[in-house]
Amino acid sequence: MRERDLPFVHRAHNPENPDGTAVVLLHGTGGNETSLLPFGARLAPGAVLLSPRGRSADEGYPRFFRRLTAVTFDQKDIVQEAEAFAAFMEGANAAYGLNPDKTLFVGYSNGANMIGAVMLLHPGLICNAVLLRGMNVLETVPKADLSGTNVLMITGQSDPYGRYAGDLEAHLKAAGATVENTLLGAGHDIGAADLELAKAYKERIIG
């Protein structure tokens, strides 16, 4: 599959000294396919970076699925976009030569929520993930087998959405994923502490 045939607008970056790993970056509301590339480059200098742009919109800003209120979401849109994202990754793995076992998915806010939904709706597609300020967005959570899936959740202590993180953690653990949830003295924004935690996790899980 050629790059222009993939269903999401995206950026791909090949490192000067590739180490065989890849990082897929999913932005938050108001971001785009370039927003997390600097974070990814610092996180994993030797990794192929792949960063798609969400196809839904909220007041003109890209998102990975529509929200109805601050904490309720368009369930049909989530299912459809998760399916499209699964197809995107299958094509991207072939187009860019990515190894799913050596790929880390990193999502922030809406991007983290998308990764969480994709893991539960399409188990096996994502093996390793870092969810920055994530929460569960599925009203009906399907039964899934996430054995062998590794997840680091990083939650902000003063994040107004932080109280919803535990629900996602519980669903992932119930499905068999190995989940670590770290509480930071932070709000919804991400910073250097998130980067260091994500970098250490990546090195420990996939190298």
pLDDT tens digits for range 17-76 = 999 999 999 999 989 999 999 999 999 999 999 999 999 988 889 999 999 999 999 999
Contact 38, 55 (CB under 8 A): no
- Dig out the tokens for 157 from the structure: 């202590």
pLDDT in tens, 155-194: 999 999 999 999 999 999 999 999 999 999 999 999 999 9
H/E run at residue 195: helix 192-205
Mean pLDDT (whole number) for 138-149 = 97
* Encoded amino acid at 150, one letter: N
Q: Record the pTM.
A: 0.97
Contact 95, 80 (CB under 8 A): no
- Distance from the Cα of residue 197 to its chain's centroid: 15
Contact 199, 43 (CB under 8 A): yes
